[in-house]
Chain A
């Protein structure tokens, strides 16, 4: 019963850590997918002059960061739109004027480029005459990444508190077990047992509690993650595809189990100490 209680708490601990870790993993994955096609789009004035256009293209080509630039005229933009969303054609036909500005699409060389690195170039271009606006998906990548960091931090914070809690719970469970067997411990010492000999069974018990707690929480997390798509509906939506709920990595799982063991070990170290005197 006591053991059940402590396993439950350890479980809760690692489940919390696990949920946030998994969330962070997923967000990281999303960020990675976005950054795989890193691009910026510069929207230009409709009446941009040839010179201005050339100057912008020149500037982009000179930069070390840029892999490729493509000019998309207003007409090409409309065609692209028609291609992509044929069912919306009517709308375009009804509007007499072309709603799409001409633009320059830029892809970057480095997949791992950060917003800060690119923003110098982007603001420089944005300030050039003839440039109306810019859209840069690295902003999203950075935002998602910082969410992922936040999730991790929250996970570790809550985890830290709960780790302390489970440390004390295990410690108390072992203390009760030690108290129940204190006569036996005294006899062991009187017949010449080393302290290590006396300690080992209690340490093993603590470690076992911790490891079982870790394992059960990983299993629950697996169930939880597998059940999320069911709630979202199994439509192959963008969200599903993007998120495609991921489990913890192998090393994260191993770490959780090992930490369970360590907490168990440390938790069962202290309660015995005072019975190893006399």
Chain B
């Protein structure tokens, strides 16, 4: 499903944010990436959804070399991905509903269907009562859940989540993980970056440890 071959990434000279990363995530995997701050987790995810290019290496997703996809066709890749960004990336002058609905709007889905699906997604993260609020009026944890609802609203084949529970209490974090697990059992491949050992212990199948840009261990539980 997702295959990385000898990925190197350099932002500045003589500083490798990623060095020689090679691993594979199979279809239907529930996989964690963990490691200290600055170890390159976000960089790795950004490369997977092609926000940035690696300095060296190749990536194959769904049998496609994603580095060969041109800028104006990259939407074909991203439509199969639900992404939770570490910094949420919500549009602050748009309501919660619109922030989630945009994923479906770009697909040209009818309005009524959009309403139904957005409501369901927001209910899954327990935010359906804040549907018509602006993100700025929500707490950090609530904003994070809006970002999660946006990532899952289209039932994507791949979920990439960067610290999706970083601002949530343990209970809510477990709820969100259960949500991802649900989607995973329905066939989606899930890749989550987190520091939270508790979550990893409870949910992890496959764990990747990053340290200073190097892949230290691959573990399957």
Interface of A is mostly: helix
Q: Which residues in A have their C-beta under 8 angstroms from that of B75?
A: 189, 192-195
Q: Which residues in B have their C-beta under 8 angstroms from that of A184?
A: 91
Asked whether B51 is an interface residue with its Cβ less than 8 Å from the other chain, the reply is yes
Within 8 A of A (CB), among B73-92: 74-76, 78-79, 81, 83, 85, 89, 91
Asked whether B102 is an interface residue with its Cβ less than 8 Å from the other chain, the reply is yes
Q: Which residues in B have their C-beta under 8 angstroms from that of A193?
A: 75, 102, 106
Asked whether B49 is an interface residue with its Cβ less than 8 Å from the other chain, the reply is yes
Shortest CB–CB separation between residue A274 and chain B, in angstroms? 11
Q: Say yes or no: A191 contacts B150, CB within 8 Å.
A: yes
Q: State the CA gap A218–B77 with chains docked (Å).
A: 48
Known: A183-B89, A184-B91, A197-B106. A191 touches B72 (CB 8 A): no
Asked whether A190 is an interface residue with its Cβ less than 8 Å from the other chain, the reply is yes
Shortest CB–CB separation between residue B124 and chain A, in angstroms? 18
Partner of A191, one of B52, B71, B102: B102
Minimal Cβ-Cβ distance residue in A for B76 = A192
Minimal Cβ-Cβ distance residue in A for B71 = A277
Asked whether B221 is an interface residue with its Cβ less than 8 Å from the other chain, the reply is no
Asked whether A188 is an interface residue with its Cβ less than 8 Å from the other chain, the reply is yes
A186, A189, A190, A192 interface centre (most CB from chain B within 10 Å): A192
Partner of B78, one of A183, A192, A195, A276: A192
Asked whether A234 is an interface residue with its Cβ less than 8 Å from the other chain, the reply is no
Q: State the CA gap A187–B101 with chains docked (Å).
A: 12
Q: Say yes or no: B106 contacts A194, CB within 8 Å.
A: yes
Q: Say yes or no: A189 contacts B103, CB within 8 Å.
A: no
Q: State the CA gap A189–B106 with chains docked (Å).
A: 10
Q: Say yes or no: A278 contacts B72, CB within 8 Å.
A: no
Known: A276-B71, A277-B71, A278-B71. A192 touches B91 (CB 8 A): no
Q: Say yes or no: A188 contacts B83, CB within 8 Å.
A: no
Q: Which residues in B have their C-beta under 8 angstroms from that of A183?
A: 89, 91
Instruction: Please classify how large the interface on chain B is, using the bins under 10, 10 to 19, 20 to 34, 35 or more.
Output: 20 to 34
Q: State the CA gap A258–B145 with chains docked (Å).
A: 47
Q: Which residues in A have their C-beta under 8 angstroms from that of B81?
A: 192
Shortest CB–CB separation between residue A35 and chain B, in angstroms? 57
Q: Say yes or no: A191 contacts B51, CB within 8 Å.
A: no
Partner of B74, one of A186, A188, A189, A197: A189
Shortest CB–CB separation between residue A237 and chain B, in angstroms? 61
Shortest CB–CB separation between residue B123 and chain A, in angstroms? 20
Q: Say yes or no: B78 contacts A187, CB within 8 Å.
A: no
Known: A276-B71, A276-B72, A278-B51. A191 touches B78 (CB 8 A): yes
Q: State the CA gap A194–B76 with chains docked (Å).
A: 9
Shortest CB–CB separation between residue B40 and chain A, in angstroms? 19
A191, A197, A278 interface centre (most CB from chain B within 10 Å): A191
Q: Say yes or no: B71 contacts A187, CB within 8 Å.
A: no
Within 8 A of A (CB), among B12-60: 49-52
Q: Which residues in A have their C-beta under 8 angstroms from that of B89?
A: 183, 186-187, 190
Q: Say yes or no: A188 contacts B72, CB within 8 Å.
A: no
Minimal Cβ-Cβ distance residue in B for A184 = B91
Q: State the CA gap A56–B30 with chains docked (Å).
A: 110
Q: Say yes or no: B71 contacts A188, CB within 8 Å.
A: no
Q: Could you give, for residues 20-54 of chain A, a 1 whenever the CB lies within 8 Å of some chain B CB and a 0 otherwise?
A: 00000000000000000000000000000000000
Q: 5 closest Cβ contacts across the A-B interface? A: A192-B79, A193-B106, A192-B78, A192-B75, A191-B103
16 contacts between A and B (CB under 8 A): A188-B106, A189-B74, A190-B49, A190-B78, A190-B89, A191-B78, A192-B76, A193-B75, A194-B106, A197-B106, A276-B71, A276-B72, A277-B71, A278-B50, A278-B52, A278-B71
Chain A interface (Cβ within 8 Å of chain B)? 183-184, 186-195, 197, 276-278
Q: A191-B106, A278-B51 are in contact. List 10 more A-B contacts (CB 8 A).
A: A183-B91, A188-B102, A189-B75, A190-B83, A192-B75, A192-B106, A194-B72, A194-B75, A276-B72, A277-B71
